[in-house]
Copies of this chain bind each other. A is one copy, B any other.
Amino acid sequence: MPTKVAPDPSRRSETARRAILAAALDLVGKVGYAKLTIEGIAQAAGVGKQTIYRWWPSKGPLFFDAFLTLAGDGEAAALPDTGDLAADLKLVLSATVDELNDLGFDQTMRALHTEIVHDPNLAADYATRLDGPMRELKKERLRSAQRAGQLAEDVDLDVAVDLIWGPVLNRWLHRTAPLTSDYACQVVDTALRGLQPR
């Protein structure tokens, strides 16, 4: 009779964790964030509620971790750098527009966004784990543009990031007008050139 091999507890844990995060993403697409419950996630993932509460105090932080797996676990790639700042920014922002116009991603992003708006702790987590690293990559691209003489030396890079990325996010959030790649390109051109006559 072969000796029974005890399952590796850390691997089992990781499998359960992944199943829980996947179930949360799957469920939010079906029922929306408001009806997402720890109980529902546990059932869909085939684990007990206690397993979930061992890792997460509530559905907000759990959902945020799930979202991070969707965003590639925070391993964001550097922005393209072809030497043409405007073209690179238009490429990146157009990809963002496509993502935000994807219905599944849209719903997940809106759910995460709502949590961030109402929960200062989650907002801090978002700033540290997602917005911060992404912002650093954006600023890295802008620094390269400064070295290439395509961006003014004295521009505050945080303000620059806000000017370039903010309008697209706002139009998506408030649905004030269709979010298109054309709009994103117009924002890039206008931010680079400025509103004053040259």
Binding site for B on A (CB under 8 A): 32, 110, 113-114, 116-118, 120, 123-124, 126-127, 131, 135, 149-153, 155-156, 158-160, 162-164, 166-167, 169-171, 173-177, 183, 186-187, 190-198
Contact = CB atoms under 8 A, between A and B. Distances in A.
A187 B169 contact: no
B149 A186 contact: no
A116 B176 CA distance: 10
Contact of A114 (B114, B153, B187, B190): B114
A126 B113 CA distance: 19
The A contact surface, by secondary structure, is helix
A197 B31 CA distance: 49
A177 B114 CA distance: 18
Contacts of A131: 174, 176
14 contacts: A113-B117, A117-B173, A120-B175, A123-B176, A150-B197, A151-B195, A151-B196, A152-B193, A153-B197, A159-B167, A159-B187, A163-B191, A194-B196, A194-B198
